[in-house]
C-alpha cells in the first residue's frame, strides 16, 4: 500500500517544515500527482522571482484549488546611494555631527538616537536607496504602515537600517525645500515609549532629522513618500 511521501519523519525546519506540515495532510493520490505532474516548477519560478507566497496559498495551489500568482520583482531605480558605518560610533555621535552642520532635531528624535536598539554599522558600507510614494506601491487610499512595508518587501525592497535616518540627513544637504521623506525601518521607541520612525525634512526653519509615528496601524496618505533599501540584485555596482 502506497503512503504519502510527505508524511515521513525528516529533520527539517523553517519554511520547509511548514510546507511539509501542510503537504502531509494530502491524500496519497494528491501527493503522487504532485511528484509526477510538475507542479513544483511554478514554486521554483516563484522563488526565483523573489516571491514567497503564504503557506496556505501554496497548499491550495498544490491541491489544485487555485493558480499560484507569480509576480516578477520590479528592478527599482536607485534614487540615492549613501554610506553607513562611516566612523560615527553611536547616537550621541550623530547628534554632535548633525548639530555641527546646523541640522535640527526634536527631543523625541534625540531620544530615538539614544535607544539601545539604535545601532551603527561597524564597517563602512554603501546602501542604495529607493524613493517611492504610497501610491507607487499600489495604494489608492490611505494605507497602514505595516501594509506599506509588507507590500514593499513583496515587491523586492527591504526596510532600511535605522542608521540610514541620520546618515541620509547628514549626506543630503541639498534636499529640496518642502521635501520630507519617511525612512521605512523597524520603529524605535521615543522617551514616552511611543514607536516612531525617522523622517528627513527640509522646511523654512532648515534641515531636520525628524520623526513620525511608526506603530503598525499608523496611516499614511498616497502621496507620502518613503525611502527603502534596494536588495543586492537591484543595487548599483
Instruction: Note the pLDDT tens digit of each residue in 65-91.
Output: 554 444 445 678 999 999 999 999 999
**Rg of the chain taking only CA atoms, in angstroms:** 22
Identify the band that residue 154 occupies on the pLDDT scale cut at 50, 70 and 90. Answer: confident
C-alpha cell at 92: 550621541
- At residue 81, the 3 state secondary structure works out as strand
C-alpha cell at 211: 520623526
Q: Give me the chain's average pLDDT, please.
A: 80
Domains of the chain by residue range: 5-62, 80-234
pLDDT in tens, 190-215: 888 889 999 999 999 999 999 999 98
Distance CA 51, CA 155 (A): 8
Distance CA 173, CA 183 (A): 17
The average pLDDT across 111-117 equals: 94
The percent of residues above 90 in pLDDT, for the chain, comes to: 58
Q: Is the pTM of this model over 0.85?
A: no
Return the half-sphere exposure (C-beta side, CA atoms, 13 A cut-off) of residue 83: 8
Distance CA 72, CA 156 (A): 9
User: Above 90 in pLDDT, residue 96?
Assistant: yes
Distance CA 220, CA 213 (A): 10
Confidence (pLDDT) at 44: 55
Confidence (pLDDT) at 206: 96
C-alpha cell at 129: 536607496
Distance CA 120, CA 95 (A): 13
Confidence (pLDDT) at 60: 59
Distance CA 72, CA 50 (A): 7
Alpha helices in 127-210 (DSSP H): 145-154, 164-170
Amino acid at each position: 500500500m502506497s503512503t504519502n511521501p510527505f508524511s515521513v519523519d525528516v529533520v527539517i525546519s523553517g519554511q520547509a517544515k511548514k510546507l511539509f506540515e501542510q503537504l502531509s495532510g494530502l491524500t496519497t493520490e494528491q501527493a503522487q500527482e504532485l511528484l509526477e505532474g510538475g507542479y513544483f516548477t511554478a514554486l521554483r519560478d516563484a522563488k526565483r522571482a523573489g516571491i514567497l507566497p503564504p503557506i496556505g496559498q501554496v497548499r491550495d495551489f498544490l491541491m489544485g484549488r487555485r493558480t499560484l500568482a507569480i509576480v516578477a520583482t520590479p528592478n527599482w531605480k536607485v534614487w540615492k546611494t549613501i554610506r553607513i558605518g562611516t566612523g560615527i560610533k553611536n547616537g550621541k555621535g550623530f547628534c554632535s555631527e548633525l548639530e555641527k552642520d546646523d541640522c535640527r532635531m526634536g527631543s523625541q528624535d534625540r531620544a530615538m538616537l539614544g535607544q539601545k536598539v539604535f545601532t551603527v554599522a561597524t564597517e563602512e558600507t554603501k546602501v542604495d536607496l529607493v524613493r517611492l510614494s504610497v501610491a507607487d506601491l499600489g495604494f489608492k487610499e490611505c494605507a497602514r504602515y505595516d501594509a506599506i512595508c509588507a507590500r514593499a518587501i513583496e515587491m523586492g525592497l527591504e526596510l532600511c537600517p535605522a542608521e540610514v535616518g541620520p546618515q541620509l540627513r547628514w549626506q543630503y544637504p541639498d534636499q529640496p525645500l518642502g521635501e520630507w521623506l519617511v525612512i521605512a525601518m523597524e520603529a524605535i521607541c521615543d522617551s514616552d515609549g511611543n514607536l516612531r520612525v525617522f523622517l528627513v525634512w527640509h522646511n523654512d526653519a532648515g534641515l531636520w532629522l525628524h520623526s513620525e509615528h511608526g506603530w503598525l496601524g499608523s496611516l499614511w496618505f498616497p502621496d507620502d513618500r518613503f525611502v527603502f533599501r534596494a536588495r543586492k540584485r537591484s543595487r548599483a555596482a
